[in-house]
């Protein structure tokens, strides 16, 4: 049977689980222990249950654990959002009824994050002074100015050949990219560029071990992994923990990517709206990723490796994509993070890390500041 080791803090928290040997009866947890275990996972005093650990639980214990995990994640997210909003205003206003460990921790985390990354107040520009006679003229910095928010990248990127590994990665994805592009009104070149950028041509840990080529956050069928990620805020890269979806295979990852882009947030990425692939990548900047150069990175990949060739020749849908991929899906119902939730909204679908970060909690807080 299962043995529990507990420690007393403000509440009893389950920290370790020892499972019965394989072949014995399923492990049965009391309902209160399932509740405590879910609280410990959300508060990060214990790692989330692995798939084998979850499978070893008796069915009713699994159901009770999942119920409380979802409940506590929702409570944490609500408190985190309120804490973030209050932190942006610099006013601590935690409701008196939020004294329980989960909501108290969520509010504190949101408030601290907002205060830590509060934009610095603008400083007055010093008045210009005339140079002294004979002194060299001041040379302004040569850094290129940022592109206007709504501007489409016009830069030209020279072509060059793919390495053997890069070519193998692209060719592996081309059939599915073209099928998804035709079925969901997307540019295959953009899909391929995003997969290459987010997974470093399939070599990232997220791609190799979790089949997540697009860095999409959240859970897929209750499966996720927590990894460091980078958010770009006020010109700075900030490293935070994010929970990313674990997919059983490449097919599931590609189908889920199409579902994510079917959300209204990404309407500008579709071909009936974006008449060129550069308009599509521009629509991803500030929505799919906070990196201010996200579209340029995609454009460089597309031009450098001539990925637009795959936009022109798409196979028939019937021969390239299974029936479940043909109909344009509705916005997915994403599950909350399996660890401490970092979204402000329970139904927020987390996009990806794109060189300088995803549209996540910090981007939402930034919007609250303006």
Is residue 16 scored above 60 in pLDDT?
Answer: no
Domain-ending residue, one of 94, 116, 138: 116
Q: Is the pLDDT of residue 362 over 50?
A: no
Which of 7-21, 36-50, 218-232, 242-256 has the lowest average pLDDT? 7-21
Higher per-residue confidence, 271 vs 107 = 271
Range from 4-18, 71-85, 175-189, 250-264 carrying the lowest mean pLDDT:
4-18
Mean pLDDT calculated for residue range 312-327: 43
Percent of the chain with pLDDT strictly greater than 70: 65
pLDDT value of residue 193: 97
Q: Are residues 110 and 205 in the same domain?
A: no
With cut-offs at 50, 70 and 90, classify the pLDDT of residue 146.
very low
| String of DSSP letters for 144-209 | PPPPPTTPPP-------PPPHHHHHHHHHHHHHHHHHHHHHT--HHHHHHHHHHHHTTTTSHHHHH
Residues 229 and 298 both lie in one domain: yes
Count Cβ atoms within 10 A of the Cβ of residue 320 and give its class: 0-12 exposed, 13-18 middle, 19 or more buried: middle
pLDDT, residue 114, reads: 65
- Residue with the bigger pLDDT between 184 and 131: it is 184
- The pLDDT value given to residue 247: 96
With a cut of 80, say whether residue 149 has pLDDT above it. Answer: no
| Dihedral over Cα of 50, 56, 58, 59: its sign | positive
73 plus 176 within the same structural domain: no
Residue 105 domain flag: yes
User: Looking at residues 313-338, what average pLDDT do you find?
Assistant: 37
- Asked if residue 300 and residue 226 are part of one domain, the reply reads yes
pLDDT 10s digits, 52-63: 888 888 889 888
Query: Does position 116 have pLDDT exceeding 80, yes or no?
Result: no
Residue 72: the pLDDT is 87
Domain for residue 199, yes or no?
yes
pLDDT at 165: 95
Rounded to an integer, what distance in angstroms lies between the CA atom of residue 310 and that of residue 167?
13
Return the pLDDT at 336. Answer: 33
Domain annotation covers residue 280: yes
- How many structural domains does the chain have? 2
Strand partners, 232: 237
Task: Give the whole-angstrom CA distance, residue 303 versus residue 284.
Answer: 17
Q: How far is CA 132 from CA 124, 138, 139, in A?
A: 23, 11, 15
- Confirm whether pTM is higher than 0.75: no
192 plus 311 within the same structural domain: yes
Say if residue 95 is in the same domain as residue 231.
no
Pick from 116, 150, 175: which residue ends a domain? 116
Residue 21 maps to a domain: yes
Instruction: For residue range 202-222, list pLDDT tens digits in order.
Output: 999 999 999 999 999 888 988
Please indicate, yes or no, whether residues 363 and 272 belong to a single structural domain of this protein: yes
Q: Are residues 199 and 333 in the same domain?
A: yes
So what's the pLDDT on residue 298?
Answer: 97
Looking at residue 359, what is its pLDDT? 38
Could you tell me which residue, 53 or 322, shows the higher pLDDT? 53
In the numeric block, the tokens 């936009």 are attached to 311
- Residues 316, 240 share a domain: yes
Q: For the ranges 16-20, 30-34, 216-220, 284-288, which has the lowest average pLDDT?
A: 16-20
CATH number at residue 313: 1.10.530.10
In a domain, 347, yes or no: yes
**Looking at the DSSP assignment, which residues form a beta bridge with residue 3?**
18
109 assigned to some structural domain: yes
| Average pLDDT value over all residues in the chain | 73
Confidence band of 344 (pLDDT split at 50, 70, 90): very low
Q: Is the pLDDT of residue 181 over 80?
A: yes
pLDDT over 90 percentage in the chain:
33
Same domain, 95 and 170: no
Residues 213 and 305 in one domain: yes
Residue 47's nearest CA partner among 3, 79, 15 is 15
Is pLDDT above 60 for 118? no
Do residue 111 and residue 168 come from a single domain? no
**Does residue 242 lie in a domain region?**
yes
| Domain limits for position 29 | 3-116
Residue 4 has pLDDT above 50, yes or no: no
134 within some domain: no
């Amino acid at each position: 049977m299962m043995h529990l080791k507990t420690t007393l803090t403000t509440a009893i928290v389950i920290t370790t689980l020892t499972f019965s040997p394989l072949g014995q009866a399923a492990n049965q947890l009391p309902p209160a222990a399932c509740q405590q275990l879910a609280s410990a996972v959300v508060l990060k005093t214990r790692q989330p249950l692995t798939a084998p650990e979850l499978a070893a639980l008796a069915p009713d214990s699994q159901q009770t654990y999942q119920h409380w995990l979802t409940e506590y994640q929702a409570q944490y997210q609500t408190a985190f959002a309120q804490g973030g909003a209050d932190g942006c205003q610099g006013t601590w206003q935690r409701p008196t009824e939020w004294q329980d460990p989960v909501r108290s921790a969520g509010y504190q985390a949101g408030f601290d994050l907002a205060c830590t990354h509060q934009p610095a107040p603008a400083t007055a520009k010093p008045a210009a002074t005339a140079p002294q006679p004979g002194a060299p003229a001041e040379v302004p910095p040569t850094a290129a100015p940022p592109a206007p928010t709504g501007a489409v990248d016009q830069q030209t990127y020279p072509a060059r050949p793919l390495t053997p590994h890069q070519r193998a990665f692209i060719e592996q994805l081309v059939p599915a990219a073209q099928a998804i592009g035709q079925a969901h009104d997307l540019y295959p070149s953009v899909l391929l560029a995003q997969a290459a950028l987010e997974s470093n041509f399939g070599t990232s840990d997220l791609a190799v071990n979790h089949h997540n080529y697009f860095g999409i956050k959240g859970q897929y069928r209750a499966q996720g992994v927590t990894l460091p990620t980078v958010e770009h805020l006020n010109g700075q890269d900030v490293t935070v923990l994010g929970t990313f979806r674990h997919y059983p295979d490449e097919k599931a990852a590609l189908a889920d990517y199409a579902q994510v882009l079917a959300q209204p947030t990404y309407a500008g990425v579709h071909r009936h709206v974006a008449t060129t692939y550069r308009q599509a990548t521009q629509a991803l900047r500030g929505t799919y990723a906070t990196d201010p150069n996200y579209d340029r990175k995609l454009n460089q990949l597309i031009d450098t490796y001539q990925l637009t060739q795959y936009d022109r020749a798409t196979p028939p849908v019937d021969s390239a994509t299974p029936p479940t991929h043909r109909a344009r899906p509705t916005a997915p119902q994403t599950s909350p993070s399996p660890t401490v939730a970092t979204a402000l909204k329970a139904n927020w679908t987390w996009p990806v890390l794109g060189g300088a970060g995803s549209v996540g909690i910090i981007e939402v807080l930034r919007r609250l500041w303006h």
